[in-house]
Amino acid sequence: ELLRKNNTMSATHVHRHINIFELIDCIIFEVGAVAVPGERDTALEEARNFSCISVKDNGPTIILEGNSDIFFDEEIISGFTLLTIPSKLVSLEMTVNLDDPLARQIVKANNRKRERSLRGANSPHRSLKDTYNGNFRILVVRVSDQVHSPSYEANEISDHVFRDKLTMTTQFRACSNNKLRFAKATGPKVTNGVFDVMVRADLTKAYDSRICVNAADDAISSRHKDDIGEDYDYIMYICPEVVNFGNAAGRADMGGNKSWYRDKFGSMPYVQMHEMGHNLMFFHSGEGELEYGDPTGIMGGEYEMKTDWGRMCFNAAKLFTAGWYSDHHFTIAPESLDNAAVNMVDVNAPARGNINSNDKVVVEVKGTGEDTMYFMLHRLEGMTRDMISDYVDTHANRVNIVKQASPGMPSKSIEHLAIGEEYTKTNWAGSGQTLHIKVCFIERSSNFGGAKVVIYLGEKNRIDCDNFDYFSNRYEYHDINDNNNCDDNNNYDNDDHDNDNDNDNDDNNEVGYQDGNEDDCQDSILKMLFSNNANEDGERKGCNWVAASNTESRCRKDGVASHCPKTCGTCLICADSGKRFRMKFFDSIKSCSWVSKNTGRCAKPGVARTCRSSCGTCS
């Protein structure tokens, strides 16, 4: 048990809104953490750590201690289980001991309807599914006591969360296929999403990191409620280094709206995303004997302590649950559907427009009595280009398989398949037959295509990889002739249903909705050709048209997101435009494959901004 360093702390120093005669109704939240690098094996020895947050606005948060597995007769659902606690059981330090026999007699628990409550006024009630999509505001609270403050100033923290090229907000937007967007909270005295608060408690004497949060909440509710307002959904607390986090870099309420960080770790994109992942009900991603040992995604525990590191997304189980690529999911129950051959692409492909309707991003494999398996193609590029070097040879650029008993549970990585490799599971779903998942081939980058994966149950349903052309799901069309005008994806879309007028005078208008300073990421000034054939006829539209209305829908058109990265929020992806385009001052249609054959063409007006990868405009 963590050592209490101050047993005489006054309750008023922790929370002012508690009456010793009342019953406190609160919602249980399991607390998720991420360890300081190098200490992940010991950081989570506290195991299941719970707190209980009052359902009353600005009510107290109570730390639950003791053996929760013995105390609760029914399943605890983080964010949904309601406790009724007599206030006389609450210590001066806002703790309740679940091992106390009296607590077992008089504390009542029940599971509510599965509905999450976020404290901000924007959306007091959202279903769990809704939290994966839409627009949310984040309030960052910089917590200081009379002597100690976080290392970074408020303006620096704001940049680290909202404005830098790589932040939690930019990376979530990229990983979510532009479906989950975070913006700064606003309020009378909230500056660029950050509010500075001075607490009365001496934070060096707090035995638990939650005390930093409770002290800040107390200060806000008693002195600063009107200064902050209610225009926020999630809250991040940045605590001084002196606060006792144990071996954790950050913690968060599972399915709640609060996360809190150990000083500089709150400015690291990986740590930010991991804790926000807990808020979204993502549990850890394990491998082997380690609870969070999967190095391929954010909910593992391997990262570098840098403010510019964390270009990673979530594993297949998390992505399937979130539904960000639901148009490109595939579910197979091998005992019902004996086999399947799947074209796989990684998460960078949709952002670049390199995806066809029959391509899959995540595959779910279900079987009676079996843990559900999920797999996806991982690439060490674009939004997923960061990985600890020790794992690159064994985990990167492979089809990674994980298993998960049910949504909202931890996942476990079980295989990482390279070209020609196979995973097998004997007696699948009690059928007496062996399940096979085999990778036939993997293209060398997402610009060229994805992978072909076959799934079959039993030898009689075998699919031979020799049946497939290695380049059968290739996207980029290569021609030795210099006058090739096919676009990089060899795709042509029909935009006849959009009748908006395009204005030539607006070609240089950098209209967009991405918050941040992306000096090296600008929309192309060249007009895209929308055509359903290989000729040069068709409509020509600029990025100003994409930004004018129906932006999300237009950004999903083949090749548009890579042509208009600032407007479409894909600046993290270093890619050439996936559209053919009209050259400035010339009425000729070209593509980036044409540019790549002679990079001197990058000097032509607008080309370097259009073919960012070929011209070295981005990295």
pLDDT in tens, 448-495: 789 999 999 999 999 999 877 544 444 333 222 233 333 333 332 333
Cβ atoms of 467 and 454 within 8 Å: the answer is: no
564-580 per-position pLDDT tens digit: 988 988 887 788 888 88
Position 533 confidence tier, pLDDT thresholds 50, 70, 90: low
Neighbours of 198 (CB within 10 A): 15
Question: Which has more confidence, 40 or 403?
Answer: 403
Say whether 316-461 and 131-287 share the same fold.
no
Cβ atoms of 240 and 150 within 8 Å: the answer is: yes
∠ CA(199), CA(204), CA(209), 5° rounding? 75
Give, as one character, the DSSP assignment of residue 473: T
Q: Would you say residue 226 has pLDDT above 90?
A: yes
Question: Which has more confidence, 378 or 409?
Answer: 378
∠ CA(134), CA(137), CA(138), 5° rounding? 130
Neighbours of 152 (CB within 10 A): 18
What percent of the chain shows pLDDT beyond 70?
A: 82
Instruction: Considering only CA atoms, give the Rg of the chain.
Output: 26
Position 104 confidence tier, pLDDT thresholds 50, 70, 90: confident
Instruction: Reduce the secondary structure of 198-231 to three states and give it as a string.
Output: ECCCCHHHCCCCHHHHHHHHHHHHHHHHHHHCCE
What percent of the chain shows pLDDT beyond 90?
A: 53
Predicted pLDDT of residue 598: 85
Position 586 confidence tier, pLDDT thresholds 50, 70, 90: low
Cα–Cα distance, 1 to 285 (Å, whole number): 26
Predicted pLDDT of residue 289: 85
Position 170 confidence tier, pLDDT thresholds 50, 70, 90: very high
Q: What CATH number is given for 131-287 in this structure?
A: 3.40.390.10
Predicted pLDDT of residue 78: 85
Predicted pLDDT of residue 506: 35
Name the token pair of 26: 């609160």
Question: Between helices 269-279 and 168-175, what is the axis angle to 10°?
Answer: 60
Quick one: CA torsion of 230, 231, 236, 242, rounded to 10 degrees? -50
Position 130 confidence tier, pLDDT thresholds 50, 70, 90: low
63-75 per-position pLDDT tens digit: 998 888 888 877 7
Strand blocks (E) in 118-225: 134-144, 180-184, 194-198
Predicted pLDDT of residue 172: 97
Query: What residue spans of 176-293 are helical by DSSP H?
Result: 210-219, 225-228, 269-279
Over residues 208-231, mean pLDDT: 93
Hey, what CATH topology would domain 316-461 get?
A: Tick-borne Encephalitis virus Glycoprotein; domain 1 (2.60.98)
Predicted pLDDT of residue 47: 56
Over residues 544-572, mean pLDDT: 87
Strand blocks (E) in 333-434: 339-344, 362-365, 372-377, 399-404, 411-417, 422-425
Predicted pLDDT of residue 469: 59
Parallel, antiparallel, or unpaired for β 411-417 and 422-425? unpaired
SS3 of residue 43 by DSSP: helix
Question: Which has more confidence, 297 or 43?
Answer: 297
Cα–Cα distance, 270 to 391 (Å, whole number): 17
Predicted pLDDT of residue 340: 94
Position 445 confidence tier, pLDDT thresholds 50, 70, 90: confident
Q: Would you say residue 183 has pLDDT above 80?
A: yes
Predicted pLDDT of residue 114: 47
Sketch the domain layout of the chain as residue ranges: 23-111, 131-287, 316-461, 528-610
Most confident by average pLDDT, 43-47, 102-106, 145-149: 145-149
Predicted pLDDT of residue 14: 42
Backbone phi, psi, residue 89, to 5°: -85, -10
Cβ atoms of 278 and 253 within 8 Å: the answer is: yes
Over residues 21-38, mean pLDDT: 88
Predicted pLDDT of residue 326: 96
Predicted pLDDT of residue 535: 54
Ranking 33-42, 121-130, 155-164 by mean pLDDT, the lowest is 121-130
Question: Which has more confidence, 43 or 487?
Answer: 43
Predicted pLDDT of residue 272: 98
Query: To which residue do tokens 């910089």 refer?
Result: 142
State the first-to-last Cα distance of the chain, in angstroms, to the nearest integer.
48
Predicted pLDDT of residue 490: 30
> Across the chain, what does the average pLDDT equal?
83
